[in-house]
């Protein structure tokens, strides 16, 4: 029982087991590529086609290895699951890959084939058994050939107008679903909470009271913004994407924006806490301007002027009200 729980190491496998494992790995990769192809078929057909082409290529190589195994070892494969081997290379989970941008997803093909080639090549250099060494070199060459083909497939796809449109569409969707709601939340949390937090600070000159007001304002604003973003638009007509994702982006960034200048009041010395809080206000306003410049194509100087001007008005209002 316990013996079956102990995984073998790749360097301890014989040539039959290595070849069987290579066939099993190709089958797993084929399924993975087919899953990617199906996932992107509707919205990103060019990317879907790339994965399908790699699936077909890998299946051709799988058939070659199967024929080789039949000639040398017969019809039965000894090991087909990479999970049975302790130090065999692993693929990224599907959910982790598909959440990336289309450009990164496409490059995943090359990364997968590079990993395979490097793995087989490294063990070929260490092997003292001529048959195993030759087999590993052949597998490494096959993986490098697959990598070269993947580069060609990627290069040809990227030249097409449709592929470029897919990248533009993907970036736009990312901005609509994550950046815009998050930016709105960060602006609201950073700017709208300035007045109540600094009004309380200058009215009471008490760090603990200011902290409580800041936490209440930040968390309350986060819940409000997140809920509003999630329920006011389901994304079907507007095309802005999942309301849950937008709600989380808006709510979390709103809370972070407020907490940035609320948490310094954990410091008991009121004046030290206030100076640090004001520093964090500047950091928050700079972050807002940077996001606007990077994703919304607004000039950085214009974005800085807008957020500093608006933030200064709210900050001044809070200080004047609290100081009065």
User: Which residue in this structure is represented by tokens 């996001």?
Assistant: 291
Query: Half-sphere exposure (CA, 13 Å, Cβ side) for 298?
Result: 14
Mean pLDDT score, 37-60: 91
Of 27, 79, 24, whose CA–CA distance to 58 is shortest?
A: 27
Six-digit token string for 87: 């130090």
* Residue 208 φ/ψ, nearest 5 degrees: -65, -45
pLDDT band at 1 (very low <50, low <70, confident <90, very high): very low
Whether the per-residue pLDDT at 72 is higher than 70: the answer is yes
Mean pLDDT score, 305-320: 79
- Indicate the CATH number of 2-159 among 3.10.129.10, 3.40.50.970, 3.20.20.70, 1.20.1260.10: 1.20.1260.10
Q: Where are the domains of the chain?
A: 2-159, 170-323
pLDDT, tens digit (0-9, with 9 covering 90-100), for 167-184: 888 999 999 999 999 999
pLDDT band at 5 (very low <50, low <70, confident <90, very high): low
Distance of alpha carbon 229 from alpha carbon 186, whole angstroms: 13
Model pTM?
0.73
User: Which residue in this structure is represented by tokens 């907490």?
Assistant: 259
Please give the C-alpha separations between residue 35 and each of 30, 43, 97, 163, in angstroms, as whole numbers: 9, 14, 11, 19
Mean pLDDT score, 112-131: 86
Cα torsion 74, 79, 82, 86: sign:
negative
- Indicate the range of 119-133, 136-150, 237-251 predicted with least confidence: 119-133
Of 179, 183, 209, whose CA–CA distance to 196 is shortest?
A: 209
pLDDT band at 226 (very low <50, low <70, confident <90, very high): very high
């Amino acid at each position: 029982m316990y013996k079956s729980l102990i995984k073998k190491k790749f360097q301890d496998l014989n040539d039959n087991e290595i070849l069987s494992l290579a066939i099993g790995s190709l089958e797993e990769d084929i399924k993975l590529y087919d899953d990617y192809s199906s996932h992107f078929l509707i919205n990103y057909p060019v990317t879907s086609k790339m994965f399908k082409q790699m699936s077909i290529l890998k299946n051709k190589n799988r058939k070659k290895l199967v024929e080789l195994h039949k000639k040398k070892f017969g019809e039965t494969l000894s090991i087909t699951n990479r999970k049975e081997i302790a130090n065999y290379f692993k693929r990224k989970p599907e959910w982790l890959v598909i959440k990336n941008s289309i450009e990164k997803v496409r490059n995943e093909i090359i990364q997968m084939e590079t990993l395979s080639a490097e793995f087989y090549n490294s063990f070929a250099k260490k092997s003292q058994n001529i048959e195993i060494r030759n087999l590993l070199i052949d597998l490494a060459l096959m993986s490098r050939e697959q990598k070269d083909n993947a580069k060609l497939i990627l290069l040809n796809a990227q030249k097409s107008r449709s592929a470029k449109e897919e990248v533009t569409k993907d970036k736009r969707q990312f901005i609509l679903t994550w950046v815009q709601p998050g930016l709105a939340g960060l602006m609201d949390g950073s700017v709208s909470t300035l007045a109540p937090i600094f009004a309380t600070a200058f009215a009471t000159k008490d760090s603990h009271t200011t902290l409580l007001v800041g936490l209440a304002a930040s968390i309350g604003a986060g819940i409000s913004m997140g809920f509003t973003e999630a329920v006011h638009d389901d994304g079907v007509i507007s095309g802005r994407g999942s309301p849950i994702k937008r709600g989380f982006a808006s709510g979390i960034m709103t809370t972070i924006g407020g907490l940035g200048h609320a948490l310094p009041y954990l410091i008991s010395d009121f004046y030290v806490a206030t100076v640090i809080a004001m520093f964090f206000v500047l950091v928050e306003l700079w972050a807002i301007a940077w996001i606007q410049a990077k994703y919304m194509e607004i000039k950085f100087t214009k974005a800085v002027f807008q957020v500093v001007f608006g933030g200064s008005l709210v900050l001044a209002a809070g200080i004047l009200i609290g100081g009065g």
